[in-house]
Homo-oligomer: A and B are copies of this chain.
Amino acid sequence: MRRFVIVGHKAVTMPKFSLNDLPGGAGRMDIIARCINSSLFLSHDLRRNVDTYAVLLGEPNPPVTVRFNGEKVRYLSPDERSAAALIKKALEKGAPMTGEEESTPGVYISKRSFEDTISGLDNIIYLHEEGEDIRNVRFTGDETFVLSDHQNLTPEEESVLERKGAKKVSLGDLLYHADHCIVMVNYELDRQGL
């Protein structure tokens, strides 16, 4: 299973946001939506072997984690509004006291924090410009790739990764948007036949 964890530091945690203003009022929910697209879509197909975790840390009720499962997800189209609408539905349902609950087919909501989410996952890869060149890394196809939105991970979030023994992997000399990084990672794993 390929896993992507994307941290939305300002992404809102209530359902009353407008699908017409994802970058503004919804706290850069557009980034989260594009990351869901780039992690899950193939041409005329979905990547069944991907789980994508969106960790929403914006007001008024952080943290909330929404997970999209590539095998089971339905009603997801490639446009930003579509992924954002499924997040909105998850927030409307609300997170259970413990564990996660399915809000629409293949979409799950929980009150898990970034640390909770990471602690439940294995083989953590932190995409970072100081890491080992991705083209020199041999993957297994069972990795968790961690990305941040328009803000860097905080020192506290970085410590969470360090404690889990995360490996730093670099995409090269340039800095890219998170959704573009996900395309590159998926592509590298495809090229490795995983």
Enumerate chain A interface residues (CB-CB to B < 8 A).
19-20, 22-23, 30-31, 34, 37-38, 41-44, 77-82, 135, 171-177, 180, 183-184, 187, 190-191
Task: Please name all residues of chain B whose beta carbon is closer than 8 Å to the beta carbon of A191 when the two chains form the complex.
Answer: 135, 172
Residues A41 and B172 in contact, CB atoms below 8 Å apart? no
* A109 and B115 alpha carbons, distance in the complex (Å): 49
Closest CB-CB distance, A7 to chain B, in whole Å?
Answer: 15
Task: Please name all residues of chain B whose beta carbon is closer than 8 Å to the beta carbon of A38 when the two chains form the complex.
Answer: 180, 183
* A124 and B56 alpha carbons, distance in the complex (Å): 42
**Cross-interface CB contact of A41 among B23, B37, B177, cutoff 8 Å:** B177
Known interface pairs A175-B42, A190-B174; A34-B78 also in contact (CB < 8 Å) = yes
